[in-house]
Structure 1
Amino acid sequence: MTSTSKRRRQRAQRIALHFVLTVSWMLLLGSEYWSIHEERATALRSAQAQSLNLANSLAQHASDTLSIADAVLSGLVSRVEHDQGSSAARSAMHEFLVREARRSDRLHGIFIYAADGSWVSSSLDSTPRTHNNADRAYFKYHRDHRDALSLVGPPVQSRSDGSWVLTLSRRLNAPGGEFAGVVLVTLQLKYFHSYYSTFEVGPHGTIGMTNDDGIVMVRRPDKQGVIGTSIAGTSIYVTMRARKHGTATYRSPIDGVERISSFAPARPYPLTVLTGVSVDDALANWREAARQRIVVAALGCTLLLGVGIWLDLQLRRMHRNEAKLSTEAWVDALTGIANRRAFDHRLSRALQDAVRLEAPLSVLMIDVDHFKLYNDTYGHVNGDACLRLIAGAIAGCSRRSEDLAARYGGEEFGMILPHTDAAGALRLADAVRNAVAELGLM
């Protein structure tokens, strides 16, 4: 194998090593990036699923709660309309309302209003006669509409105790169908807030309820001044109106927190329950895991770098050893010029080239006269020095790169002279003789 081909092979080995290390780095970093990305997506999907499940559950709870109130309302309307004009029934009504209100901690109160808005009866300990609810939105609605359906009104502050309540009301009709007043059941919004507080939605999570107009009915955590405000026109409201049921990521118009929010309708009532988990909370565990993966990846890359440096050093050392062995195989250790193996190898190639090109080829065989006597007289150390001087003189006469000067064995040397005829070889032989003579060794 020529030195050029060896260098090419060694270079290819180092390139292959660097390529393998680079690919390993890329695979390690790529796999970690993909894993981190997938784990993030999984964390978000999990948060979305949990949020939607909670929204569905709470929407059903809200529907069940209003159904209880609606059942009370329906029975009360039938009783009031049936017993109109009965003084005995009116005197027993208060006790009946008190009993009904106490049957469920979800109810705030039950009220009956006359056609002019005055209080007829209630579940309160005493019914104030000076209060009038003709200004309430639900009262105006029933006065102006003949339908017998229940109306879920926006949150209002109760005139009985000032607390926020959700209203569910129905129209009362006189025997002739005329408007006779309103029956009202109020639900405590603090009940919903307390119930929602039992669910874990993270440090920045929310649970809330709005009506179809976007009015905030309940919100946990409670924020001063939020109840009764509108989110109509916000991105989450637009999404809710378009999809009715689902999940979306949005930035809250109330506190500016980005949340994964799920919404579900509390049908058949015009209410929607929203549950929100902040994106930061949803990704908290993922971030910690991602930091750990990044540390592991960094350690892995460092390890790969260390292994790569070690392998590169080993490869360089191997190449140096190969070069040393190659030199020892083709170079005479004593004189530093080509040895017999190199001479024979070059001669074989030179003969083939000479035949192929029909070019002259000369070979000089040089024997150092009286060397044995010199060696015996001056000793082996001086004899070795003598051979080195002679080898240098012979090599100095070889001026072309294609010529080769070699130690053939003992005190014998040889020269291969491609493209050199006999006359040229004689001139070079004479030059070698003169160069050796000038050394003055004898």
Structure 2
Amino acid sequence: MKRLISEVYLNLIAGVIALGILALSAHTLWTDRLNTWQEAETSSRNVLTAIARDLGSDLELLDLSLKGVMEGQRHVEFPHLLPDLQHHVLFDRAASASFVESLVLVDKAGNLIADGGPVIAPRPLNMADSDAFKVHREQSYSGLYVSRPFRSRIRPGDLVIALSRGLYDSSGHFAGVVMGTVPLSNIDKLFSDLSLGHKGAINLFRHDGILLTRHPYDERQVDQSLAGSPHVQRLLQGKAGTFDSLSPIDGVRRIISFERLDRYPLVLTVAVSVDEVLAAWKRKALVLGLVTGVLCSAVLGLTVLFQRELRRRTHAEAKLRRIARTDDLTGLPNRRGFRETFEREWRQAIRSGSSLALLYIDVDYFKSFNDRYGHGRGDEVLGAIARTLGANIRRPRDMAARHGGEEFAVLLPETDLSGAKLIAENIRQAVMAIGLVHEGSPYQVMTVSIGVASARPSCGSVGVALLEAADAALYQAKAAGRNGIRVADASDFSSQVQTPPNAATRNGNLLKQ
């Protein structure tokens, strides 16, 4: 039981240590992951702020250019000026954004009447079918409008977007459009120096969910309507923020920081791949996980080794205790083992109120047997008698012991005097039945003398009286001619079983001597 408790405590301690290591590692990894995630969010927001500022500045310059053209066109003297002066009035006062492809003015029929290029005759260009022209003409929209990507008519093949404002006369009738076109490749150049990883992305959405452009630039991915995506809906509903989501464009999970550009119907996003953000953390987690696994395995391994050693020592100690309590010749418990068992059974009899019987057995004429046949044969006789005792006591708690020399003791828990006498007679007859020849005995075979005593101990009693009674009965059996049984007279020792505490202590000490 003690060994089992020790193993339980040992397993508990090992489990606590292993769990502590795991908890510490898990907490470290989780904290490091949160820090890595927060650093990625902060970094993406910083990049977004810088890009939004640069892009907003360029758009503002382009819008100022559009407003400059509108103001010049409204001047009362404008129609009467020469073409080169009209060009100066329209375009010289307007700042031009560096990434603008062209700045044009078209009339209400969509025909080009002026552009920001060299002063030449107007090119045969009509913009009536353009997205921007239709919005201003059909919806009377006078604010800044951003078109969907379309093929440039000035540099065929390039995809561009147009920023435009409508022109209206004093009566409010549509009079034309001033429009600036920006190649998507020029916008992509604004983002080209940024490092967002292999799977990082920068997206520019229109307020209705149209993807205007994307970095890294891929012509196949632009001009998509993603308004139905929950991902894009989240972008369009807020002014700014950061969240993680699967991209509806390529399915990559990213941390997205977004911001709606002031004064423009545009939403800019900077997105970094979650896998790339956590790549270094995952490597660290792998290393720390391996180290943690090794440490936990070492703890468990040492625990197993310690338990094995503990079991070995426990078994060795138990074996030593068993050897110390066992007679080498007969294999029965020795005098020490008998005393321990007797004390335990005496206390149990007190608790249960049951009887406890004791047999003292002495081999008759054993000294003369050794003198006649030798000690080797004498040892064989003792072994045979020990086996006979074991064959005649069958209950688990019954015990036979070698009490010393040629003496044996049999302890019979929960047995009264009549039962003990019956067992004693069976043992006496079984020894005679062995038929061990002993010419030095008047019976010509090996015999035993047995003293029998039984008591029902009570609280405060001691067992030495029972031992002395059985010993006295054995003396009587030997004095009566041996090969017989004598039962202790209850009146001789019943009064001795009930002893005062001081006498109990003296008798108890006597028992242990």
TM-score above 0.5, yes or no: yes
Aligned partner of 2:480 in structure 1 is none
Residue 362 (structure 2) aligned to one of 359, 366, 382: 366
Q: Distance in 2 between matches of 1:27 and 1:158?
A: 66
Letter in 1 for 2:314: H
How many angstroms does 1:219 deviate by? 0.9
How many angstroms does 1:317 deviate by? 0.8
Q: 1:198 to 1:370 in 2, by over 3 A?
A: same
Give the alignment's Cα RMSD to 1 decimal.
3.8
Q: 1:273 to 1:420 in 2, by over 3 A?
A: same
How many angstroms does 1:259 deviate by? 3.2
Residue 134 (structure 1) aligned to one of 128, 136, 141: 128
How many angstroms does 1:42 deviate by? 5.3
Residue 70 (structure 1) aligned to one of 51, 57, 63: 63
Q: 1:140 to 1:391 in 2, by over 3 A?
A: closer
Q: Distance in 1 between matches of 2:347 and 2:131?
A: 115
Tell whether 2:269 aligns with 1:274.
yes
Indicate conservation of the 8 Å contact 1:133/1:139, yes or no: yes
Look up the SS of the partner of 1:60 in the other structure: helix
Indicate conservation of the 8 Å contact 2:64/2:94, yes or no: no
Residue 257 (structure 1) aligned to one of 233, 242, 252: 252
What CA deviation, in whole Å up to 9, does each residue of 1:20-65 have, x standing for no partner?
4455555555665666566556555544444344334333332222
Look up the SS of the partner of 1:247 in the other structure: strand
Matches within 5 A, 1:286-435: 286-348=281-343, 357=353, 359=355, 361-366=357-362, 369=365, 371=367, 384-385=379-380, 387-417=382-412, 418-421=415-418, 423-424=421-422, 427=425, 430-431=428-429, 434=432
Of 137-146 and 322-331, more deviation after overlay is shown by 137-146
What CA deviation, in whole Å up to 9, does each residue of 1:166-200 have, x standing for no partner?
32223445577665433333334322201212222
Aligned partner of 1:112 in structure 2 is 105
Letter in 1 for 2:324: A
How many angstroms does 1:392 deviate by? 4.0
Aligned partner of 1:182 in structure 2 is 177
Query: What TM-score results when the alignment is normalised by the length of structure 2?
Result: 0.71
Look up the SS of the partner of 2:417 in the other structure: coil
Aligned partner of 2:44 in structure 1 is 51
Look up the SS of the partner of 2:101 in the other structure: strand
Of 72-81 and 395-404, more deviation after overlay is shown by 395-404
What CA deviation, in whole Å up to 9, does each residue of 1:309-342 have, x standing for no partner?
2123112212212321221232223332121223
Tell whether 2:278 aligns with 1:283.
yes
What CA deviation, in whole Å up to 9, does each residue of 1:94-130 have, x standing for no partner?
4677767896422322223334433333222345431
How many angstroms does 1:270 deviate by? 0.3
Higher relative contact order (CA 8 A, sep 6+): 1
Q: Distance in 2 between matches of 1:438 and 1:20?
A: 60
Tell whether 2:149 aligns with 1:155.
yes
Indicate conservation of the 8 Å contact 2:346/2:356, yes or no: no
Q: 1:306 to 1:184 in 2, by over 3 A?
A: same
Q: Report the count of equivalent residues.
A: 433
Look up the SS of the partner of 1:198 in the other structure: coil
Look up the SS of the partner of 1:337 in the other structure: coil
Indicate conservation of the 8 Å contact 2:65/2:94, yes or no: no
How many angstroms does 1:368 deviate by? 5.5
Look up the SS of the partner of 1:225 in the other structure: helix
- Where does the alignment leave 5 or more consecutive residues of structure 2 unmatched? 441-513
How many angstroms does 1:302 deviate by? 3.0
Q: Distance in 2 between matches of 1:87 and 1:48?
A: 56
Indicate the structure (1 or 2) with the bigger Cα radius of gyration. 2
Aligned partner of 2:3 in structure 1 is 10
What CA deviation, in whole Å up to 9, does each residue of 1:356-412 have, x standing for no partner?
8474734325256352x6657777666655544454455555455444332233344
How many angstroms does 1:273 deviate by? 0.7
Aligned partner of 1:84 in structure 2 is 78
Letter in 2 for 1:132: N
Q: 1:94 to 1:379 in 2, by over 3 A?
A: farther
Of 155-164 and 44-53, more deviation after overlay is shown by 44-53
Letter in 2 for 1:309: V
Q: Distance in 2 between matches of 1:176 and 1:388?
A: 136
Q: Distance in 1 between matches of 2:225 and 2:197?
A: 24
Q: Distance in 2 between matches of 1:60 and 1:176?
A: 38
Q: 1:423 to 1:208 in 2, by over 3 A?
A: closer
Of 401-410 and 229-238, more deviation after overlay is shown by 401-410
Letter in 1 for 2:432: N
How many angstroms does 1:265 deviate by? 0.6
- Where does the alignment leave 5 or more consecutive residues of structure 1 unmatched? 1-7
Look up the SS of the partner of 1:112 in the other structure: strand
Indicate conservation of the 8 Å contact 2:73/2:90, yes or no: no
What CA deviation, in whole Å up to 9, does each residue of 1:390-442 have, x standing for no partner?
54455555455444332233344334455235854763574376267626496
Q: 1:399 to 1:437 in 2, by over 3 A?
A: farther
Look up the SS of the partner of 1:193 in the other structure: helix
Of 224-233 and 170-179, more deviation after overlay is shown by 170-179
Indicate conservation of the 8 Å contact 2:392/2:423, yes or no: no
Q: Distance in 1 between matches of 2:38 and 2:439?
A: 94
How many angstroms does 1:274 deviate by? 1.9
How many angstroms does 1:271 deviate by? 0.5
Q: 1:103 to 1:440 in 2, by over 3 A?
A: farther
Q: 1:179 to 1:428 in 2, by over 3 A?
A: closer
Letter in 1 for 2:282: R
Aligned partner of 1:193 in structure 2 is 188
Aligned partner of 1:60 in structure 2 is 53
Query: What TM-score results when the alignment is normalised by the length of structure 1?
Result: 0.81
Indicate conservation of the 8 Å contact 1:119/1:127, yes or no: no
Q: 1:158 to 1:128 in 2, by over 3 A?
A: farther
Q: Distance in 2 between matches of 1:393 and 1:184?
A: 122
Q: Distance in 2 between matches of 1:361 and 1:242?
A: 96
